[in-house]
Structure formats: structure tokens, C-alpha cells
A and B are shown apart, each in its own frame.
Chain A
């Protein structure tokens, strides 16, 4: 029998239903792949025993024809999701031994639908980063390399482990979180499909908070159809999260393959950046042509406040983070340094427990909220945020989706931008406005750059219209003929 990790989510699902193989077979192959991919450092915690136990239950359910929609499907989960009785670290020293006594709503939904946890995935510390290099557990390595190069590349971030594991064929899909691009940017860097749902589509309950008004959970998968299947099973209205939506959850899978004929695609002129590479421009042009060929109408539109999105984001997100991370004080859980003085206890606990990037953002956030600066920074940023949202709602009066590149560049070298936070932050320039406006967006692998590295196109949709995104994404997927990774170099390295 061929290695079952070659099957994508819906193939695995169909194979299990047809009893072509057992859940146990599928899970064993994925556990093997997980264990032999440790060079990528994608997982912080592996849960093979739990996975095998769940596999046996799934096989029983198949035998009794009690199988649920995701029965037996192996998934990796970003370490920002609290998983009951399984170490959950946020990739921080602060929570390096934290075992939650509760399960996040989103993962709970998945387990109830029969999915199986393979392990917890590495990410940037508290999801703050765009390269997965801020993790206390070390960087994740991108399974992709430049043509004829052995240099290690970053997988993007913060959901670097989620994207790298799916690209490497470990698990058929994974969960990430996206606050400013943390699903879409790594998806673009690893040739995977990553969706950030509309704010409120997925419950945030049980997800370790970074910036509450921006955070949203989403799926990373090998293809568009898988993505739609995973999303459908993640989201729910949750009375434990006031910001979660009670809108009906459609069958996203049925949107995949639906015609886009007559629909309108907006091309925001502000996303054309100085010094954008030929590869990116070419991909964008091809994207427009594919959609046009499928019957969509291409319209140039303007989102005039785009240039303020990044500064606005880097005020609002750190402001919320500085407050959200106050609970890590060494008193009740997590890393703690004893002292005879309460302030010294806080200082030592937090100095040791947090890494540099987290500290930087706590400092920025504390500053922009402090008395005398609040109006000039935080309040102004909130006003700008409203203007950005307005740009989008006006654009969506004219078009059904927007098409942009997902990132301004392909994956970069490990350590390349570590000491240059500003250039790191610029990686989020195309993704951040979407979070500020609370919209859904998806990154689809669309072409490769001159070095053979994947590039992604981003589709941005109307609020709660993930369905149209999936229809469009499917057109791009079918047109691009993107070839996924075939050289599994990391296995040989073992």
C-alpha cells in the first residue's frame, strides 16, 4: 500500500468511508511522517498515543456506521489553541509547562466531528511574528528550498508550524490563527491554502489571545476543497464568545467548483507597491487572466487608506496584546520567579518568561495606551481603522471579491530579518488591512518565483461570504496548475 500521507483531506475521508484502509493505517502513516519530519521543528508536542486511541474509536464508528463528518481525519493544531490535558505553550517560555484543563471551542468542534489530534504545532511566540523565529522552541524550517540551494528558509508566521506540516504532508490539514496575516502569509510561503474567516465566524473561546479584535482561527490545507470542509466543521455560534456570529453556517464545500461567471473582481491599485518583484506582478496578472477566462469581470478599484493599515495595525494589535498578556504574572499559572517583593516578582517573571518580540509589542502597546498618548495613537488608529473598513465596504458595493498578492515576497532565509523588525512587519502589508476590516480572505498557491519558491494570491471577500471566496479560489487552483513539493529532503537528513 502506498503511503497514506499522500492523500489529501477529502481523499482520506473518502478512502476511509469506502474502507480502502483503516483509520489506524492512516494515523500510523501520519505519525511516522511526523516523527521523521522532526528536522522541520513543526511540532512542539506530538500526541501519537492519543491519536492511535482515537483511531481505534474511529474504526469502531466506521464499523458500526456511526462515522461522523471528519471521522479519522488527522490534524495538527497550532499551539495557540488550548487543548484539554495536552501541553499548550503559545510557543512561549511563559507557558512552557501549561496544561489547560479545558478545550477550545474550535478544536472541540473538530473532535466532536471525529477529527484526530496528531500534535501541537509550533508558532511565533504568542503568535507575534512573521517568520516563526520568535518561538521559544526554536524556528520552524520551511520544507521548500530555493532551486539548487541548501539554505534554510522560514515558513512564514506566525502559523509557521501549521503551514510547514501541511506542506510536508504531515497531517491532512491544520489549524492556524490569523491576527494580521498569520495564516495567509505562511500558507503563501509554503504552497498551501490558508483561509482567515470573517471575524466572528469561529469562536475565540479557548484560543490564547493576542489581539482580541483581530484574532481569528482558520484552516490550512493542501487544496481549496479540503479547506472548505475543515472550515465547515470548525465554526459554530458560541455563547461563550460574545463576538462570535450567530449567522447560519453554509456548506462551504458545495461552493467549490461553482461558476464565477458574471461576478466582479476588484483590483485595488494601492496594493501595487514600489519595488514589487516581477514574479509577484506576473502572478497577479496571470490571476486576473484566469478569473477573466472563467467569466468574471475585472474592475480597477481604490482603497485609499491602505497605506495607513500597517501603522494602524501596529498600534491596535500591540495595545490589545499589552493588556491581554497582563495575566501572565506568575501568580496562578505559567512561568514564575519567586521574590520577596511583588514588583520584583512581576519583573523577573515577565522578563524571563517573554521573548524579545513579545516584550517589544507589550512596550509599544503600553506606550500607545498611556495617558497623554492615547488620543494621538490608539484613538487615532481606531478612527483610521473605521476608514479602512469603510474603504472595503464601499469597494464591495462594486465588486464581489478583491484579488491581491498574499505577500510582497516569497519565503526568506532563516535569520535574514530577525534583527530588523520593521522589514519583518512589512511582510504583512497585504494581509493586515483584511484583519482591520474583519473580512474573510484566502491565500491560494498560484505560481513559483524565479527560485522555484511558492507564491500566493489573496482573495478578499465580503463579510461572511467565504463561499464566494472558495468558488474563486477553486478557479485559481485549477488554472494555476501549481505543483506541490516533491523533494522530501528533510526525511533523508534524519
Chain B
């Protein structure tokens, strides 16, 4: 695969590693019983533990441990039955304890791997270095008062998984595909909702460049990128910036950078010299986290079918192309929708309708598939109506549009609007005869221009409001006019 970038001195290779911070789906926080509901009134989801009050102690939430193990299994990773919580020490007003409880050299999940799906139906393996559990910080609000910053501790202590990849990606497309895949796996597992707008999934992107075959270059880390689109833009910008610097004879300085979506640029946040010394050490308030193999096996039993396996099944069982199948499984909700809609229905047609009409409608109104006004059952019915000849394909599109507005059952729409297909040959013949009679000039012209047949078809359709069976119309017209 050729992912090289052109510079003035030749080709450059980009090397990308990604740290994903994924908020765990759990009713309460990692070390306290406070609720994790997003969007609550400021500082209402805060226990004494979350506020770092004197004498308060953390107690691990076992649900979060299960979720991390589940995710680890979904990433084909080694699960560590013994792991340690460490303190990462730094001062910031939204970090009440003055340290974040995280995992440093003994994480709960070790090495794993995922397959990412690239254009042209190509797969690539990206290795996972580790997954660890940690607490989120609160939120600093700098835009609420002219001279003060406010702190909202609702998020303080919420459980995160940090998933660290190996530097196995070499283009912005691969990086985007990787984040999408991880997000998708977690959504399948229901361990993270993957909602990047609400910050439940954020990515730190490590980018470096090198001449093909050279050793790794100095990397810069772009912090907290919060959309798939921005990930692509940030990498493109950053790689070009680094190439230009090197080609101008300068050295890359190891830095933490921020992506500015308005300018489409990255800018320096702090240099290596300014980096914090986090003084990690094992948290003495927490015992090592241990669990049995049985615990892991019980979680393994609850794993749902994951996207790669589901895609294979879609190809095998529904006779879909690998491309179609991968589109359907790329969101758990879409795949679920498809499976419901295609129960007892022509699945190939269902797939076409989802990927075509439904996606373009959802796109237009900016909705996700689980917000679709057309239920999968109703879409299935609509397709059956086409398949069994009750309606024509053209009418189906009209019905679809009605369904997007009313959400009604397509059968009742057909009945109340008299939209059934006209397949009765006598009836069609009658209509054709009257058209021929009324248009002798056209009939004559047809002798020289066989293309004019389309005009006759159009007239029949006009006469029947599109309900005439197109095959029968063609057959009758052919038999009458092409002698």
C-alpha cells in the first residue's frame, strides 16, 4: 500500500499511534457511587470522594472492571488478572485530589489487535499495546465570568478506558478507520457509547514522519481530538508541518499540541521540557485489582457477536457482497436494523434500500438510524410489496417518502392511496390502444427512431400514475408497435 506523502526531498512516511479515552458505560463512577448522567446541573453528581474531601477513600466499582475486561476481550487482548492502580500527580483546579487514579505499568488489559477496514475492501491489522482504567477529571469552565474560571465536578471520577495502539498506522484514513473500528467494537459491546460530541470518546494522536526505512522520527502528540473528521485534518496538517520543518533543516521538538478546528491547524501546548513529572506511584488506598479466570470466562460468555464476525455471517447467510456487509456492520445499530428489516424479506433489496434511500434521507435530516421514523419492520414490508409485485419500484419511492413523514405502515398507505400495481393485461392494453390512436405521428416516427419507445412507456405511466407493471407495458408495446 502506498501511503507516502510527497515532500521537496522525496517521499515521506507518516507514523501514527493513538490513545483513545473512552468513557465507560456505567451508572456510577469508577471509585464512588455518584451518578454519571451527562448534562446534569453543574456540581450535582459529586460525592465527597469525587470532591477530594479529607479522609475520603476510593472503592472500585466492579461494573467498570467488567466493562474493561469485556472491551479487552473485544480487542482480542490479554486480560491481566492482577493489575495495579497508580496515582498520577499534578495540580489543576478540576482535579480535586491533586492526582488522577490511573494504571501505569501493570494495566488491566495487555496486548491485543484489531482489524481496520479500509477502502477497496482492504483490511489491516493494528496492534493494541494496552488498555487501562482511570478516572476522568472535572471540567474547567473559562467562559462563564469575566475574571473567574468555574469548575464543574460532575465528570470528576467518571470511569475511562485508555486504549493505546502501537504506532501501526500510516495515513489519516487508517487513523480514522482505527478510531471508527474501536468505537464500533465498544458500541457492539455496550462498554462505551462512542459519543464524541459529548466527550465520551476522545483521542490523543501521536504523529511522526520519516523517510521510508528510517528509524522512527520525533513525535508530537495532538491532544483531545474529538471528531473523526478532525482526526483526519489534524494528522494531515501535522504531518505536512513536520515534513516542512525537516526539509527546511530544522529539528522536530517533542511537543504536546492542540488541534484548532476553526483554523484546521495544530499549535503547541507545551514542550517536553515543560512536561509534567507525574510522579506515578501505586495508590496506597487501593489493593491490587485481582480476579479469577472464571470471572473473565463468565464475561466472555456474554460477548455479543462482534463486527468482523457479523460481517462474515452477513456475507454467508444473506448473500451480500463483502462491501455491503461491511457498510451494514460498521454501526451496530445499522446491522441490527438490517437484521430486523430483512426477516422474511429479500435481504439484498433491504441492504440496497438502507444504504441508498434510508441513508440519504437520514443524512439530509441529520438523524441516526435508531432515530429513523421508518421502523425496520415497515421498511421490510415496503420491500415485500415491491418484491411480490404489489407496487412498482417508482411508487415505492413515493411511499417511502410518505413513511419518512408519517411513519405509517406501507400497506395501509398503499391501500388508502390506491397505489397497487396494474398488472392486468387487458387494462394495460386498453390504455396503450388509446395512446396509439391519439398519436399517429409518433407511431410513424417510431419506424425511424426506435428510441421513441421510451416516450410511449412514459405516456402509459402517466396515464396510470406510475402504477403500471413496467414489464407488461414493455411487452405489450413491443408486440403492438414493433411488428
What is the interface of chain A, defined by CB distance below 8 A to chain B?
81-82, 88, 90, 95, 98, 100-102, 104, 204-209, 211-213, 239-243, 319-320, 322-323, 325-327, 329, 331-333, 340, 342, 346, 366, 369-371, 374, 378
In the bound complex, what is the Cα–Cα distance between A346 and B99 (angstroms)? 15
* B286: A residues at CB distance < 8 A: 242
* A208: B residues at CB distance < 8 A: 54-55
Find A366's partner among B92, B151, B279 (CB 8 Å cutoff). Answer: B279
Which segment of B22-30, B57-65, B261-269 sits at the interface? B57-65
In the bound complex, what is the Cα–Cα distance between A342 and B142 (angstroms)? 13
Determine how close the nearest CB of chain A comes to the CB of B429; give it in whole angstroms: 84
Complex contact B91–A212 (CB within 8 A): no
Complex contact B57–A323 (CB within 8 A): no
Interface 1/0s, chain B 269-286, versus A by CB < 8 A? Answer: 000000001011101111
Q: B89 in the interface, Cβ–Cβ < 8 Å?
A: yes
* A320: B residues at CB distance < 8 A: 284
Complex contact A102–B59 (CB within 8 A): no
A95-B54, A212-B285, A322-B279 known; 13 new pairs, CB 8 Å cut-off, are A90-B54, A100-B54, A102-B53, A209-B55, A212-B283, A241-B59, A242-B286, A323-B87, A323-B89, A332-B51, A370-B279, A374-B280, A374-B281
Complex contact A326–B54 (CB within 8 A): no
* B54: A residues at CB distance < 8 A: 82, 88, 90, 95, 98, 100, 208-209, 327, 333
In the bound complex, what is the Cα–Cα distance between A382 and B51 (angstroms)? 29
* B52: A residues at CB distance < 8 A: 327, 332
Complex contact A82–B51 (CB within 8 A): no
Complex contact B281–A327 (CB within 8 A): no
Complex contact B93–A243 (CB within 8 A): no
Residue pairs across A and B with Cβ atoms less than 8 A apart, 28 shown, are: A81-B55, A95-B54, A100-B54, A205-B55, A205-B56, A208-B54, A209-B55, A209-B285, A211-B284, A212-B284, A240-B59, A322-B89, A325-B98, A326-B99, A327-B52, A327-B53, A327-B96, A327-B97, A329-B93, A331-B93, A331-B96, A332-B51, A332-B52, A333-B54, A342-B92, A346-B91, A374-B280, A374-B281
Q: B48 in the interface, Cβ–Cβ < 8 Å?
A: yes
In the bound complex, what is the Cα–Cα distance between A110 and B287 (angstroms)? 27
- Nearest 6 A-B pairs (CB), nearest first? A326-B98, A213-B284, A212-B284, A369-B279, A327-B52, A206-B55
Complex contact A323–B53 (CB within 8 A): no
Find A239's partner among B55, B59, B89, B151 (CB 8 Å cutoff). Answer: B59
* A95: B residues at CB distance < 8 A: 54
Determine how close the nearest CB of chain A comes to the CB of B234; give it in whole angstroms: 27
- Known interface pairs A240-B57, A331-B151; A326-B285 also in contact (CB < 8 Å): no
Complex contact A326–B91 (CB within 8 A): yes
In the bound complex, what is the Cα–Cα distance between A332 and B94 (angstroms)? 10
Which of B52, B54, B151, B277 lies at the interface centre, i.e. has the most chain A CB atoms within 10 A of its CB?
B54
* A332: B residues at CB distance < 8 A: 51-53, 96
Closest residue of chain B to A334, judged by CB? B54
In the bound complex, what is the Cα–Cα distance between A325 and B55 (angstroms)? 11
Closest residue of chain B to A340, judged by CB? B147
Complex contact A371–B55 (CB within 8 A): no
Closest residue of chain B to A342, judged by CB? B93
Interface SS of chain B = loop
Complex contact A323–B99 (CB within 8 A): yes
User: Which B residues from 77 to 120 make CB contacts under 8 A with A?
Assistant: 87, 89, 91-93, 96-99
Complex contact B48–A102 (CB within 8 A): yes
Complex contact A242–B285 (CB within 8 A): yes
User: Which B residues from 266 to 320 make CB contacts under 8 A with A?
Assistant: 277, 279-281, 283-287
- Known interface pairs A323-B89, A323-B99, A326-B89; A242-B59 also in contact (CB < 8 Å): yes
* B60: A residues at CB distance < 8 A: 242
Determine how close the nearest CB of chain B comes to the CB of A323; give it in whole angstroms: 5
Complex contact A207–B55 (CB within 8 A): yes
Complex contact A326–B151 (CB within 8 A): no
Interface 1/0s, chain B 35-69, versus A by CB < 8 A? Answer: 00000000000001001111111111000000000
* A331: B residues at CB distance < 8 A: 93, 96, 151
Closest residue of chain A to B48, judged by CB? A102
User: Which B residues from 149 to 194 make CB contacts under 8 A with A?
Assistant: 151
* A207: B residues at CB distance < 8 A: 55
Complex contact A242–B57 (CB within 8 A): yes
In the bound complex, what is the Cα–Cα distance between A206 and B87 (angstroms)? 20
Closest residue of chain A to B283, judged by CB? A212
Closest residue of chain B to A80, judged by CB? B55
Find B281's partner among A242, A319, A325 (CB 8 Å cutoff). Answer: A319
In the bound complex, what is the Cα–Cα distance between A329 and B92 (angstroms)? 9
In the bound complex, what is the Cα–Cα distance between A206 and B286 (angstroms)? 15
Closest residue of chain B to A244, judged by CB? B57
Complex contact A378–B281 (CB within 8 A): yes
Complex contact A104–B57 (CB within 8 A): no
Determine how close the nearest CB of chain B comes to the CB of A198; give it in whole angstroms: 15
Determine how close the nearest CB of chain A comes to the CB of B90; give it in whole angstroms: 9
* B98: A residues at CB distance < 8 A: 323, 325-327, 329
Closest residue of chain B to A350, judged by CB? B91
Complex contact A369–B93 (CB within 8 A): no
Determine how close the nearest CB of chain B comes to the CB of A347; give it in whole angstroms: 10
* A369: B residues at CB distance < 8 A: 89, 279-281
Closest residue of chain A to B93, judged by CB? A331
Complex contact B59–A104 (CB within 8 A): no
In the bound complex, what is the Cα–Cα distance between A271 and B280 (angstroms)? 34
- Known interface pairs A205-B55, A239-B59, A331-B93; A371-B285 also in contact (CB < 8 Å): no
In the bound complex, what is the Cα–Cα distance between A101 and B48 (angstroms)? 9
* A239: B residues at CB distance < 8 A: 59
In the bound complex, what is the Cα–Cα distance between A243 and B57 (angstroms)? 10
In the bound complex, what is the Cα–Cα distance between A319 and B281 (angstroms)? 9
* A102: B residues at CB distance < 8 A: 48, 53, 55
* B56: A residues at CB distance < 8 A: 205-206
In the bound complex, what is the Cα–Cα distance between A371 and B281 (angstroms)? 11
In the bound complex, what is the Cα–Cα distance between A100 and B53 (angstroms)? 9
* A323: B residues at CB distance < 8 A: 87, 89, 98-99, 279, 281
* B97: A residues at CB distance < 8 A: 326-327
Complex contact B281–A204 (CB within 8 A): no
Determine how close the nearest CB of chain A comes to the CB of B127; give it in whole angstroms: 27
In the bound complex, what is the Cα–Cα distance between A341 and B95 (angstroms)? 17
In the bound complex, what is the Cα–Cα distance between A482 and B59 (angstroms)? 45
Determine how close the nearest CB of chain A comes to the CB of B147; give it in whole angstroms: 8
* A374: B residues at CB distance < 8 A: 279-281
Determine how close the nearest CB of chain B comes to the CB of A191; give it in whole angstroms: 30
Determine how close the nearest CB of chain B comes to the CB of A11; give it in whole angstroms: 33
* A204: B residues at CB distance < 8 A: 55, 57
In the bound complex, what is the Cα–Cα distance between A212 and B280 (angstroms)? 16
- Known interface pairs A323-B98, A327-B98, A331-B151; A370-B277 also in contact (CB < 8 Å): yes
* A241: B residues at CB distance < 8 A: 57, 59
Closest residue of chain B to A326, judged by CB? B98
In the bound complex, what is the Cα–Cα distance between A322 and B98 (angstroms)? 10
In the bound complex, what is the Cα–Cα distance between A331 and B55 (angstroms)? 17
